[in-house]
């Protein structure tokens, strides 16, 4: 273990001693894979046959016209197998796990998206699989739990702490420190100890590499701004990395504004002023924490952005001002989602809808000659319980109540 994996002051690997050699092994495997062109080719082949890469770019014809400013393009990560960009990272780590000769994978999950992707990868590669998920999230996201279990994964409901994503991460580390010999921890976002932020960003860079070329092919020019939502930061890093060296392209990361600035109920680490630098979950970054360094409860309508920390690489890009950070509130996000569904027939995940909300705010101020690109990191149709609750659909409630009554009746009848 060396002191490395820093992006200005952010990053590092603050890990229990027992994982030191596991991280050395992981880093070695990662570097060897990165330096081996055959590995990336294998990865590309897998992603183009098992998922549908390259995912397309869709122009929002109706909303571009309605909003009357920039032309809006969308990178369609929602079309991936399992419905989100998460699978890019997971399949890459699956190949790496195979390379390291390990036979079991574990992962944390918040909304369940990364859990489903990991369980899928495990089924595909024949690995044993355990997914850690906050008990609150297990209760909220049963459909995802259902599919993980169908894939053969063991889903552990984490009853510690706030029972959400960060606690699931802690619990996954606790598993790992016991089972590191045969187990790889497939962390789901560009956070955690080095080399995860860099490695996850590398796998996700497939998004940006494709998107840059696709925008050039489609419009002849680079987009003026690109938008991505930021939870841990993996989809944002994935898209942004394609445009990092194109100084003329403005990169906009959109965090969960929850109930708004000053409400204390949000997950905006970089866009608002509430976060401070700290070290937790194995890395140094901006965290929503109190003065003692205790992590605080966060809030977002989207489970996938509801997280206390953020990719150290994004904290760095925030400080260097290469990326502009904004936050979208729950209400604006739900409105942006509904608008996108109704006007374009696309169903962005609530996470992704943060990027849409910010883009819709800015597009009208831009000229029709300009193009913007939004990362649609996932689709919302798996989050129907959350979405139906967010918009308080009475018919959905009636349906659930009736369905429950039918189940209770069957239970009674044996």
Ligand X SMILES: Cc1ncc(COP(=O)(O)O)c(C=O)c1O
Q: Does residue 177 belong to the site contacting another protein (CB under 8 A)?
A: yes
114 contact, one of a copy of itself, ligand X, another protein, none, CB 5-8 Å limit per kind = ligand X
**What residue has token string 């998107």?**
211
> Residue 196 half-sphere exposure, CB side, CA atoms within 13 Å?
29
Peptide bond into 54 cis (omega under 30): yes
DSSP E strands: which ranges in 205-317? 225-229, 250-258, 276-280, 283-287
Binding mask 146-185 for a copy of itself (x = CB under 8 A): xx-xxxx---------------------------------
263 contact, one of ligand X, a copy of itself, another protein, none, CB 5-8 Å limit per kind = none
Of 115, 257, 304, 309, the one binding ligand X (CB under 6 A) is 304
**What residue has token string 């009746």?**
409
Q: Residue 86 catalytic?
A: yes
The region of 118-126, 203-211, 261-269, 278-286 touching a copy of itself under the rule CB under 8 A is 118-126
Which residues have CB under 8 Å from 294's CB, separation 6+? none
- Output the six-digit token pair for 198: 């860099």
Binding mask 31-70 for a copy of itself (x = CB under 8 A): -----------------xxxxx--xxxxx-xx--------
**What residue has token string 């659909």?**
393
Binding mask 93-132 for ligand X (x = CB under 6 A): -----------------xx-xx------------------
Quote the least distance from Cβ 40 to another protein, whole Å. 29
Residues in 175-204 that interact with ligand X by CB under 6 A: 189
Q: What is the DSSP pairing of strand 128-134 with strand 283-287?
A: unpaired
Q: Residue 108 catalytic?
A: yes
Of 13, 19, 349, 359, the one binding ligand X (CB under 6 A) is 349
Angle subtended at Cα 65 by Cα 59 and Cα 70, rounded to the nearest 5 degrees: 70
Q: Does residue 20 belong to the site contacting a copy of itself (CB under 8 A)?
A: no
Report the residue number, 12 or 378, with the smaller CB distance to ligand X: 378
Which residues have CB under 8 Å from 214's CB, separation 6+? 54, 56, 57, 75
Q: Does residue 22 belong to the site contacting another protein (CB under 8 A)?
A: yes
Q: Residue 2 catalytic?
A: no
Which of 375, 309, 377 lies closest to 88, judged by CA? 377
Q: Which of 201, 234, 353, 377 is catalytic?
A: 377
Q: How far apart are CA 107 and CA 100, in angstroms?
A: 17
Of 2, 247, 321, 395, the one binding another protein (CB under 8 A) is 2
Handedness of CA 173, 177, 179, 180 (dihedral sign): positive
The answer to whether the CB of 190 falls within 8 A of the CB of 232 is yes
Residue 377 Ramachandran class (φ > 0 left, ψ -120 to 50 alpha, else beta): alpha
Grouping H, G, I as helix, E, B as strand and the rest as coil, residue 239 is: helix
The region of 95-103, 136-144, 238-246, 254-262 touching a copy of itself under the rule CB under 8 A is 136-144
Q: Does residue 209 belong to the site contacting a copy of itself (CB under 8 A)?
A: no
Grouping H, G, I as helix, E, B as strand and the rest as coil, residue 185 is: strand
CA torsion 374-378-382-388 (nearest 10°) is -20
**What residues line the site for a copy of itself (CB under 8 A)?**
48-52, 55-59, 61-62, 76, 79-81, 83, 119-124, 126, 139, 142-143, 145-147, 149-152, 338, 341-347, 381-382, 384-385, 388, 393, 395-397, 399-405, 407-408, 411
**What residues line the site for ligand X (CB under 6 A)?**
84, 86, 110-111, 113-114, 189, 229-236, 304-305, 349, 351-352, 377-378
Write out the catalytic residue numbers.
86, 108, 377
């Amino acid at each position: 273990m060396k002191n490395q994996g820093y992006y200005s002051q952010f990053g590092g690997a603050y890990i229990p001693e027992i994982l030191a050699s596991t991280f050395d092994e992981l880093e070695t495997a990662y570097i060897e894979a990165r330096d081996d062109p055959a590995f990336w080719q294998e990865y590309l082949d897998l992603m183009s046959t098992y998922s549908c890469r390259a995912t397309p770019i869709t122009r929002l014809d109706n909303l571009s016209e309605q909003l009357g400013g920039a032309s809006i393009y969308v990178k369609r990560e929602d079309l991936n197998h399992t419905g989100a960009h998460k699978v890019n990272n997971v399949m890459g780590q699956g190949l790496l796990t195979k390379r390291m000769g390990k036979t079991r994978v574990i992962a944390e999950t918040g909304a369940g998206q990364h859990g489903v992707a990991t369980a899928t990868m495990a089924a595909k590669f024949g690995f044993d699989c355990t997914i850690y998920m906050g008990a609150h999230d297990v209760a909220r996201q049963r459909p995802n739990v259902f599919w993980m279990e169908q894939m053969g994964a063991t889903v552990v409901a984490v009853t510690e702490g706030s029972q959400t994503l960060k606690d699931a991460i802690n619990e996954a580390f606790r598993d790992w420190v016991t089972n590191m010999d045969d187990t790889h921890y497939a962390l789901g976002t560009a956070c955690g100890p080095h080399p995860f932020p860099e490695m996850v960003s590398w796998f996700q860079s497939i998004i940006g590499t494709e998107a840059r070329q696709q925008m050039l092919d489609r419009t002849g020019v680079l987009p003026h701004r690109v938008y991505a939502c930021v939870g841990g930061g993996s989809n944002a890093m994935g898209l942004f990395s394609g445009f990092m060296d194109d100084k003329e392209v403005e990169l906009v990361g959109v965090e969960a504004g929850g109930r708004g600035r000053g409400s204390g109920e949000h997950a905006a680490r970089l866009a608002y002023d509430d976060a401070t630098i700290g070290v937790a979950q194995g890395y140094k970054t901006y965290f929503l924490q109190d003065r003692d360094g205790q992590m605080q409860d966060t809030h977002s309508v989207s489970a996938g952005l509801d997280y206390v920390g953020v990719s150290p690489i994004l904290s760095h890009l925030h400080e260097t001002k290469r990326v502009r950070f904004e936050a979208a509130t729950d209400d604006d996000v739900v409105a942006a989602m509904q608008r996108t569904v109704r006007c374009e027939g696309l169903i962005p995940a609530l996470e992704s809808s943060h990027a849409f909300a910010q883009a819709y705010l800015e597009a009208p101020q831009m000229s029709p000659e300009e193009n913007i690109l939004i990362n649609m990191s996932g689709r919302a149709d798996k989050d129907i319980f959350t979405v139906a609750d967010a918009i308080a659909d009475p018919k959905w409630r009636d349906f659930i109540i009736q369905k429950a009554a039918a189940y209770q009746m069957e239970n009674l009848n044996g």
